[in-house]
Amino acid sequence: MQQDVIMVLKFPSNSPVTHVAANTQPASNVGSHRRQISDLLDQSIQISSQCFVITADNRFILLCGFWDKSFRVYSTDTGKLTQIVFGHRDVVTCLARSESYIGGDCYVLTGSRDATLLLWYWNGKHSSIGESPGTEFTTPRAILTGHDCEVTCVSVCAELGLVISGCKEGPCLIHSMNGDLLRTLEATENCLRPRLIQSSTEGHCMIYYDKGQFCLFSVNGKLLRHMQVEDSIKVRIFPFLL
């Protein structure tokens, strides 16, 4: 009903919405003004939900796709840039974070056109990437290799100690969080170009491919289920039940 609508927001550029997240934590200036990130992304980047990560306390947003091969941290309360992180040799194309520990610590995973994955540590106490806040250069916990082209989607599960990733061409890969390549996920022939990955702590992984193809795998690499939908999925897959 129209009377139930609290707020309507429209982008001046008439651009399509690619990511939505809610900040439900109390903050002193929420609602007092609109906040926006004005930094421009690389023109070749197709913006999707894989370009954004929200921290567990909803206070910071991590964004990738910048021309200088960085990913960046912004305050959701002010919209201000709080950290720039370098590590990849080409544009960072996707991001994901693990479940959070007490205090808000978690792992952040980045994928890039350089065909590598970097695993970072988010320090909840200091609200920054890295265990030593204030240092100019931050180093990743692990460097993961095995893809031959641009990484398009990633997922990380700290409880299982696993990283799952997909690229433009070739199978999805499962690594340990130490960087060891464990196995590949072989889908059916018509499952090409993975777009979204969601893993669960129960040991399952759902992957969405081009043309509405879904595959459900066990983390041991077994294909459990395959289905096709007609709609184009552009948002993150939420936790699923078998």
Q: Which of 26-40, 81-95, 186-200 has the highest mean pLDDT?
A: 81-95
Burial category of 208 from C-beta neighbours within 10 Å (exposed 0-12, middle 13-18, buried 19 and up): buried
Burial category of 206 from C-beta neighbours within 10 Å (exposed 0-12, middle 13-18, buried 19 and up): buried
The residue with greater pLDDT, 202 or 114, is 114
Q: What is the pLDDT of residues 69-128, one digit of tens each?
A: 999 999 999 999 999 999 999 999 999 999 998 889 999 999 999 999 999 999 999 999
Strands 60-63, 52-54: parallel, antiparallel or unpaired by DSSP?
antiparallel
Q: Please enumerate in sequence order all residues whose Cβ is within 8 A of that of 113, keeping only pairs 6 or more positions apart, or say none.
A: 88, 90, 91, 93, 150, 151
- In 3-state terms the chain splits into helix, strand, coil percentages (rounded to 5) of 5, 40, 60
Confidence of residue 33 (pLDDT cuts 50, 70, 90): low
Cα–Cα distance, 140 to 19 (Å, whole number): 26
Q: Quote the pLDDT of residue 241.
A: 44
The residue with greater pLDDT, 231 or 110, is 110
* pTM > 0.85: no
Q: Quote the pLDDT of residue 242.
A: 43
Provide the token pair at 111. Answer: 């994928």
